[in-house]
Homo-oligomer: A and B are copies of this chain.
Amino acid sequence: MTVYSKKLEFNTQERIAFIKITDLVRKAVRESGVQDGIVLVNSMHITSSIFINDDESGLIQDFKDWLEKLAPKNFDYQHHHTGEKNGFSHLWRTIMGREVVVSVQNFELELGPWEEIFYGEFDGQSDKKILVKVLGE
């Protein structure tokens, strides 16, 4: 059994960003030497997300508009009484999810036809890490 860990580091220019990381995860899987197993990819922060969906700019805009409807940025969240201004970021990340687990087969990510792995950042412009953990044989 092989276990391999890697951190991906980001500091987004925009507060809200959707970044495709499929190739970075693919690279980590190859580095791991794991032929058959799984890979866990998770944000290490509570205002960002790892999720799988389509790499289509219209859909990314739909996600942003929809999340704004479900949990508006400008709202008097209780969390803001601590001095924070990112109440919505915590809720957006809850909708989009913290992590994905993906199959590894023949040293490669085993993804469906349109599956792409995304890092969704909802309170960026500071140093953030994504954890990639490969397990298998």
Contacts and interface: CB of A to CB of B under 8 A. Distances in A.
Interface of A: 1, 3, 5, 36-38, 40, 42-46, 51-54, 56-59, 61-63, 65-66, 70-71, 77-82, 87, 90-91, 93-103, 105, 110-115, 129, 131, 133, 135-137
A99 B131 CA distance: 17
Contact of A137 (B1, B81, B93, B102): B1
Report how many copies the assembly holds: 3
Contact of A82 (B45, B58, B78, B79): B58
A90 B65 CA distance: 14
A38 to B, nearest CB: 6
Contacts of A66: 71, 91
A56 B58 CA distance: 35
B105 A5 contact: yes
A63 B95 CA distance: 12
B53 A80 contact: no
A99 B100 CA distance: 8
Contact of A54 (B36, B40, B90): B90
